[in-house]
Structure 1
Amino acid sequence: MDGFLKGHQMMNSREVFLHEVATVCVLAGKILLQNGAETFRVEDTMNRIANSFAVHEAQSFVTPTGIIFSIENHDVTQLVRIRDRATNLRKVTEVNTLSRQVAQGAINLRTLHRELSRINRSTVAYSVPLQVFAAAVASSCFLLMFLGQWHDVLPAFIAGGAGQAGMIYFHKLSKAKFFSEFMSSVIIGGIALVSIKTGFGLQIDKIIVGAVMPLVPGVPIANAVKDIMAGDLVAGLSKSAEAGLTAFAIGIGVTAALFFN
């Protein structure tokens, strides 16, 4: 009887440990997926963390909107729904660093969970004014890269910054990315048109192209191609559709601004 109870307690301890490993793996995957990592990178990181803690029966299935993690031959399965996605490669880098440290045996499970929780709770790395200023500078640089004139640098600077500010503001009002991207493009198109009519700008096409570049979904497009090449067709096609919808919102936003003015 004592042997049975001891075996039962050991089994319960093992199950608790497996649940803790699953929780940590899912948290790491959630942070990566929410901040712009590729699907295959999310699955690989989760599996590597599990293997580092001698859990070799782990299986993961990741889509852009959810993560399923399971450990075979055990009653351990976790699912998390991903509702908000952004691009914060700093968090992706921090999780990848922790993953390598775990593989090297430098940190234990409890420390890993604490560090992942800290990363998950951390706010945006850059303030809103800095994001607006960076978008404005990038817009000016893109204008010159597309052979625009120096005379149009300031209009592109203003349009790009205003567009980024509008994106942040409207995203707070509505969680629908299409709406915020559309309104941001309307702002850019309107400022570009006004600058031409007042003689402040010369080439409306170059001003618009430079100003909308910070809105272009470069990371989702690149991740979609990588996922498709890696064989994650569901995730790749989903991200392709999302990127296409963003491009459509930008296009009709600029068109609406030019048409109604």
Structure 2
Amino acid sequence: MTTTKEILTLTAEIGDAMLRNGAEIYRVEDSLVRILKAYNIENFDIYVLSNGIFASANEGLDDSCSIIRHTPLGDVNLRKISALNQLTRDICCKHCDVKTAWKRLDECLNSPSPDKRLLCFFCGLGCSCFTYLFGGTILDSIMAFVAGIFLEIFLLYCAHQKLSRFTKNVFASIVAMTLSLLPLLFGLKISYDKIVIGVIMPLVPGITFTTSIRDYYNGDYLSGTIHLIDALLTALCIAAGVGIVISIYQSINGGVPVL
């Protein structure tokens, strides 16, 4: 017979996986409530933050259980979120018992990552398109495409080395700015500012900022504040990296402005 602890542990693990892959707070909380109801747990409390889960069930009974999960902020993985959402739907439709749900959860967490070559190509393509969208020329877009590929290679290296988010963003913005200025050294007539805008777009915390606004709208003020602070600090790290490269470039050129 399945115990309350097993059900609550499964529920917390599903919520933890959703949070780690960038799911919204209200979606996680709603999913956990529905899972517990599907497994006939009636007396429970669920409280979800952007970096933690607090859950309890059957308080005051012999099989009472409480679980706390600390969940660090992570990058968004829509593939895993989609798989976890489907797992939640199957549980709610009574198509998945606890044992099967554990197997499905392991499959979701161990799903293969996208091909790194595709990530590099599409990062370069995205940078190129943004550069053109913000007024760059075809040559600017080509330079942004090349810079975007090298930027993604650097980001993959940072992920492999498990660098902190802020360290990664500072050094990634330094790399992006340096790559954007390199064509100037070869005398190419480019709009380096348009290239910079396009190349740093993969670093901009747009999803995090949007999530914070959505959390505020749903009344999750604490989670919204956490996401907002994370987005602002990320933007500050990007600005710091860009500023460092501009300062060095100006000093090398005798104080001549880059613009």
TM-score (structure 1 length as normaliser)? 0.89
Question: Does 2:218 match 1:230?
Answer: yes
Which segments of 5 or more consecutive residues in structure 1 lack a partner in the other structure? 1-12
Question: Does 2:162 match 1:177?
Answer: no
Kept in 2, the 8 Å contact 1:155–1:200? The answer is no
Kept in 2, the 8 Å contact 1:164–1:184? The answer is no
Q: C-alpha displacement at 1:93, in angstroms?
A: 0.7
Pairing partner for 2:3 from 7, 17, 21: 17
Which residue does the alignment assign to 1:111?
Answer: 100
Which segments of 5 or more consecutive residues in structure 2 lack a partner in the other structure? 250-259
Which residue does the alignment assign to 1:9?
Answer: none
Pairing partner for 2:76 from 55, 75, 87: 87
For residues 162 and 245 of structure 2, the distance between their equivalents in structure 1, rounded to whole angstroms, comes to 20
For residues 146 and 123 of structure 1, the distance between their equivalents in structure 2, rounded to whole angstroms, comes to 34
1:7-66 CA-partner distances (Å, limit 9, x unpaired): xxxxxx5xx521111011111101100001011111111111001111122211122222
Kept in 1, the 8 Å contact 2:19–2:73? The answer is no
Which residue does the alignment assign to 2:30?
Answer: 44
Q: C-alpha displacement at 1:91, in angstroms?
A: 0.7
For residues 58 and 175 of structure 1, the distance between their equivalents in structure 2, rounded to whole angstroms, comes to 38
Q: C-alpha displacement at 1:136, in angstroms?
A: 0.5
Alpha carbons of 1:103 and 1:211: their partners in 2 closer, same or farther (altered >3 Å)? same
Please give the residue correspondences for 1:182-193 in structure 2 after superposition, counting only pairs within 5 Å: 182-193=170-181
Question: Does 2:10 match 1:31?
Answer: no
For residues 38 and 201 of structure 1, the distance between their equivalents in structure 2, rounded to whole angstroms, comes to 44
TM-score (structure 2 length as normaliser)? 0.90
For residues 67 and 110 of structure 2, the distance between their equivalents in structure 1, rounded to whole angstroms, comes to 20
Pairing partner for 1:244 from 219, 225, 232: 232
Kept in 2, the 8 Å contact 1:170–1:180? The answer is yes
For residues 91 and 60 of structure 1, the distance between their equivalents in structure 2, rounded to whole angstroms, comes to 22
Kept in 2, the 8 Å contact 1:59–1:72? The answer is no
Q: CA RMSD in A?
A: 1.6
Kept in 2, the 8 Å contact 1:188–1:208? The answer is yes
Which residue does the alignment assign to 2:109?
Answer: 120
Alpha carbons of 1:84 and 1:244: their partners in 2 closer, same or farther (altered >3 Å)? closer
For residues 99 and 180 of structure 2, the distance between their equivalents in structure 1, rounded to whole angstroms, comes to 53
Which residue does the alignment assign to 1:140?
Answer: 128
Which residue does the alignment assign to 1:67?
Answer: 53
Kept in 2, the 8 Å contact 1:25–1:49? The answer is yes
Q: C-alpha displacement at 1:231, in angstroms?
A: 0.8
Percent of aligned positions that are identical = 27
Could you tell which deviates more after superposition, 201-210 or 78-87?
Answer: 78-87
Which residue does the alignment assign to 1:58?
Answer: 44
1:170-212 CA-partner distances (Å, limit 9, x unpaired): 3433531111111111111111111123233510110000011
Q: 1:162 is matched by which residue type in structure 2?
A: F
For residues 251 and 85 of structure 1, the distance between their equivalents in structure 2, rounded to whole angstroms, comes to 21
Q: C-alpha displacement at 1:122, in angstroms?
A: 3.1
